[in-house]
Chain A
């Protein structure tokens, strides 16, 4: 059974600082998603990572995928308050995998304080 673990689950940051959120998964996959969720809202797609070594950047966020280590990272550079949200990674396993098998981590709740 595929397990997806995020850490930390809670992260309080000061504005201007850098930090990394980690997403580990337990079986082979080369399709991983990062989503953002604001309180009481839907999920917003941030990044789709489809191959080993994939790196994508949007503004202050950068995501990477290492399929050999079964690890994805979401790096935050010079955090600002607007980045406060919960961030989820989600993984599709290679074996028998489809969107119907998408497994989510528990999310990392990020709070950026002045």
Chain B
């Protein structure tokens, strides 16, 4: 089944801890993205990558880091520097930067 898989679906983190959200796609897409969604808000771009070993900051990259060592995988680390990390995180991928993006099911991160 082709698609984008995010894990885990729910994640709880203590303040001061780093946590990594997984995103895997088997669509053979070059581009991948991470978005953050807060209640009642649209999506805001954290990071994106158009090719392996390359990634760019989005509008709200502070307190986050990513890697793109494999085409299929684009993990997002939420560091302790992110002051308000509780949110719904969505990963997406597209064939390239000029084609439509498709979204994973999301990870809901809660800081406790």
Contacts and interface: CB of A to CB of B under 8 A. Distances in A.
Given A99-B48, A99-B94, A4 B42 contact: yes
Contact of A106 (B42, B90, B99): B42
A13 B108 CA distance: 29
A95 B52 CA distance: 25
B58 A45 contact: no
B56 to A, nearest CB: 6
Nearest to B98: A98
B106 interface: yes
A61 interface: no
Interface residues on B, range: 20 to 34
A102 B99 CA distance: 11
Contact of A100 (B43, B48, B105): B48
B43 A88 contact: yes
Contacts of A43: 43, 90, 103
Contacts of A107: 40-42
10 contacts: A41-B105, A42-B103, A42-B106, A99-B97, A99-B101, A100-B45, A100-B48, A102-B45, A104-B44, A106-B40
B56 A100 contact: yes
Interface in B8-34: 31, 33
Contacts of B105: 41-42
Interface in B61-112: 88, 90, 94, 97-106, 108
